[in-house]
Amino acid sequence: MLFVGVMLTVLAAAMQDARAEPINKTVPQTQMDMQMSFAPLVTKVAPAVVNIYTSRTVSRVVSPFMNDPFFGQFFGRQGFGGRMRNQVENSLGSGVIIASDGLVVTNAHVIDGADEIKVVLGDGREFTAVLALEDEASDLALLRLDTDGAELPYVSLKPSEQLEVGDIVIAIGNPFGVGQTVTSGIVSAQGRSSLDINDFNFFIQTDAAINPGNSGGPLVAMDGGVVGINTAIFSRDGGSLGIGFAIPSEMVASVVAAEQEGLSGARGVLRPWLGVTAQGVTADIAESLGMELPSGALIADLHSASPLADAGLKTGDVVTAVNGRAIRDAAEMKFRMATVPIGEETSVEFFRAGRSRSVKVEAIAPPDDPPREATQLSGQHPLSGATVGNLNPAVAIELGLGEADMEGVIVLEVARNSSAARLVRPGDILVEINNKSIDDIGDVMQALDRPGHMGWGLVFNRGGQTRELILR
């Protein structure tokens, strides 16, 4: 009984403490509480959300045997006795207006390859859109509408970093083409990087229902600010399973700034180059380095021209923060640096030999050094028709090869129906020609001037794999 009495006393004290510090979360108590709605928020944002309709012309082989199971096993999709015909493909997506003069943000994959783009507002107005910028790396695109001077409804971007896991958000778009649709949910996670959706792999995860057609639409915070652009879902059957992903607004802002300042290239936005190969920090690595927590980006390799190297970082250092923002892994380091304007400096904190340090790092464009010396090859040899150049960071970024410290000669273009078209393709790195090691354009020209007695020997690297060809 004494034990029970003591427990009751403790419980009563705990309840009294709980009453002394009331929790701010309550169930609806009044009629007004029960009538709370997202309607005012939707009324504010929805007019700026648009439906995007695209069309493109594709060439296909049309054959009466294409769907025949017997002939299909021999001719596949090529058909037999078929003719090449042009067909028009239509697709749809969503977007959001972020400026009154008609600047629209959407996903790059929504308008990829489109011959015609039409944008329809919620009030029924239709506008022809012109592609202002397509950024493959971030899967973002900017459209400009021909408004003839009319001002359009628009919304503003809000830093996604102000979100917390558990915050309520809404998604607006045109799923399955049924018309503008609003769904709500919470922020399930920040900085998701275990995906392979774009070059940065850094996303807001939400359980607001997102379906095909929502791509390019906004993810909206409770104050009406756009914190992300809905871009992908995890699904087994094409429908929403409560796992959706949005590109953070910081990346959207960097794309808008690049378009306004003319900082774009062949593949989209020209972003800062780090010249680094990095990996996440595991528990074992953290213990071996004397770190308290397994977080940060471990530098595995640095390009000789890397701005990180210029600032004093070395292989084996762990980058822990960029511009005051903690870094969880290599993907987040890449994302944070990608949003820094070229020419500006940012602070980088790193861990080395048991203590933290901080340096200033300049955001630089990918160096076009050594000079690429693009050369179109011609003559009686197997590489006739290929355009090759010296490999440098700028070329590597343009061809989507990443920031690895690669050297040598790379194939830039290949003419159709040429001798080279049967052997190589853009992005292949020449290693040897007739047993001669290839380091620069001069080596290529010397090797091609001296054909072998027994034919041609060609060694090249494609996608990290070495291939060898003997041509007689």
Which residue type occupies 68? D
Does pLDDT of 15 surpass 60?
no
- Residue 5 pLDDT level (bands cut at 50, 70, 90): very low
Q: Tell the residue number behind the tokens 């923060």, with chain if given.
A: 321
Of 233-237, 266-270, 385-389, least confident by mean pLDDT is 233-237
Which residue type occupies 13? A
Q: Say what the pLDDT of residue 82 is.
A: 54
Q: Would you tell me how many other CB atoms lie within 10 Å of the CB of residue 345?
A: 14
Backbone angles phi, psi at 253, to 5 degrees: -60, -40
pLDDT digits (tens, 9 = 90+) for 390-425: 999 988 888 877 765 568 899 999 999 999 999 999
Does pLDDT of 78 surpass 70?
no
d(CA 206, CA 245): 6
381 is catalytic: no
Does pLDDT of 355 surpass 90?
yes
Does pLDDT of 199 surpass 80?
no
405 in Cβ contact with 301 (< 8 Å) = yes
349 in Cβ contact with 277 (< 8 Å) = no
Does pLDDT of 437 surpass 80?
yes
pLDDT digits (tens, 9 = 90+) for 132-167: 999 988 999 999 998 888 889 999 999 999 999 999
pLDDT digits (tens, 9 = 90+) for 95-124: 999 999 899 999 999 998 888 999 999 888
Percent of the chain whose pLDDT exceeds 70: 81
101 is catalytic: no
d(CA 414, CA 386): 4
Does pLDDT of 35 surpass 70?
no
pLDDT digits (tens, 9 = 90+) for 268-313: 788 899 999 999 999 999 999 999 999 999 999 998 899 999 999 9
Q: Say what the pLDDT of residue 115 is.
A: 87
d(CA 383, CA 441): 13
Count Cα neighbours of 241 within 13 Å in the Cβ-side half-sphere: 8
148 is catalytic: no
Q: Say what the pLDDT of residue 89 is.
A: 62
Q: Say what the pLDDT of residue 410 is.
A: 95
306 in Cβ contact with 175 (< 8 Å) = no
Count Cα neighbours of 357 within 13 Å in the Cβ-side half-sphere: 13
Token duo for residue 307: 């701005």
**Catalytic residue (choose from 94, 138, 160, 215):** 215
**Catalytic residue (choose from 109, 135, 240, 295):** 109
**pTM (predicted TM-score):** 0.77
Q: Say what the pLDDT of residue 6 is.
A: 37
Q: Say what the pLDDT of residue 201 is.
A: 77
Element (H, E) at 134: strand 126-135
Token duo for residue 433: 């020609």
Q: Say what the pLDDT of residue 12 is.
A: 47
d(CA 269, CA 272): 10
**Catalytic residue (choose from 94, 138, 139, 317):** 139
Does pLDDT of 16 surpass 70?
no
Does pLDDT of 465 surpass 80?
yes
Q: Say what the pLDDT of residue 192 is.
A: 79
